[in-house]
Amino acid sequence: MVRYLIRRLLWAAVLFLAVTFVTYVIFFLVPANPARLAAGQSATPEKVREVEEFLGLNDPVYIQYGSFLKRLVFEGSLGQSFVTRQSVNKEIFRAAPITASLVFGAMIIVLSVAIPIGILSALRPRSLLDRTAMTYVLIGISLPSFWIALMLSYIVGYKLGWTPVAGYCEVVSVPEASTCGGLGQWAYHMILPWITLAIVVAGTYVRFVRAEVMDTMSQDYVRTARAKGAPEGQVMRSHILRNAMLPVVTLVGMDIGLLLGGAIFIEAVFGLNGLGGTALESISRFDLPTLQGVVIFGAVAIIIFSLIVDLLYAWVDPRIRLT
């Protein structure tokens, strides 16, 4: 297990270096002068040259990348925004909890609904439940996330008035603040974004769980257990579900990392100024350090969750450690 852990950590480090290098190089391929952006459009040529010297933009790219990587790894700094002049870390740490609230809340709904439906659909193929579930899968995969968000916001939020149309409340209530806050208000404002993202993602999980359960049911060890007279409940728990749910762990870990950096459209529709909103705003303002910080944060999130999933997978199934 220790050797497997070392291999996965080394592979995660290689991915981290590759992601940060590609992101940093793309930063310099943008058709704009970073020093001009940092100094402001009204800055004089002398001021721009001073900023270039201060930022180290006159050095070769590999030296600049080395300085950036050293600052990122040892100081944990993603730089300073060209627009707000504030630390990019501050922007990321402000936006990340909003996106995390959206992603983790939606994944709880997805797993609570998709896994039972996928299992029942696999146990009763071509039944009414199975056909209904597969119809939902096609609809959920085909419809764009922003369209589902707009429809739910208009019907549920505006027409019926059951939920807020947009906005975000902090989990911790701040008495001095004029905005809303508290666990109840936070969940009340997040329920519609959660449902929207769950609708988009759940279809994939229903189909995946159904396929894994049906494939596991056809394996020789399941038929052998039944032939030996094992109770059906024990066969389902110990042989079918235990093996069929292992790939779901991998899928959950990958999706959480991807959604942390990719829930842009849903955040935009519901006015959630999370990582997606921060990325869109930085693009519109050509705030390259902030955009770079969001991309690196999303990539690191994917790497971390992939590593966690690999370790959990190896802990649950010892055969994985030998690969």
DSSP string over 81-141: -TTT-SBHHHHHHHHHHHHHHHHHHHHHHHHHHHHHHHHHHHHSTTSHHHHHHHHHHHHHH
Average pLDDT of the segment spanning 113-137: 87
Residue-wise pLDDT tens digits, 36-93: 666 666 667 777 777 667 666 667 777 878 888 888 888 888 887 777 778 888 888 8
Closest CA to 279 of 269, 270, 228, 268: 268
Q: What local confidence, expressed as pLDDT, does residue 218 receive?
A: 85
Residue 194 pLDDT class (50, 70, 90 cuts): very high
Average pLDDT of the segment spanning 223-246: 82
Average pLDDT of the segment spanning 228-233: 83
Spacing of C-alpha 286 from chain mean position: 24
Domains defined along the chain, listed by start: 92-272 (1.10.3720.10)
Most confident of 7-11, 20-24, 92-96, 312-316: 92-96
Average pLDDT of the segment spanning 274-278: 84
Q: What local confidence, expressed as pLDDT, does residue 55 receive?
A: 66
Higher confidence at residue 318 or residue 172? Answer: 172
Q: How far apart are CA 108 and CA 216, in angstroms?
A: 24
Q: Which residues pair with 181 in a beta bridge?
A: 170
Whole-number Cα distances in Å, 317 to 271, 310, 320, 321 = 42, 10, 6, 8
Type of residue at 8:
R
Residue 33 pLDDT class (50, 70, 90 cuts): low
Closest CA to 190 of 229, 149, 219, 226: 149
What pTM value is reported for the model?
0.78
**If you write DSSP's letter for every residue of 218-232 in order, what string do you get?**
TSHHHHHHHHTT--H
Q: How many CA atoms lie within 13 A of 41 on its CB side?
A: 5
pLDDT tops 80 at residue 160? yes
Q: How far apart are CA 282 and CA 288, in angstroms?
A: 7
Q: What local confidence, expressed as pLDDT, does residue 319 receive?
A: 60
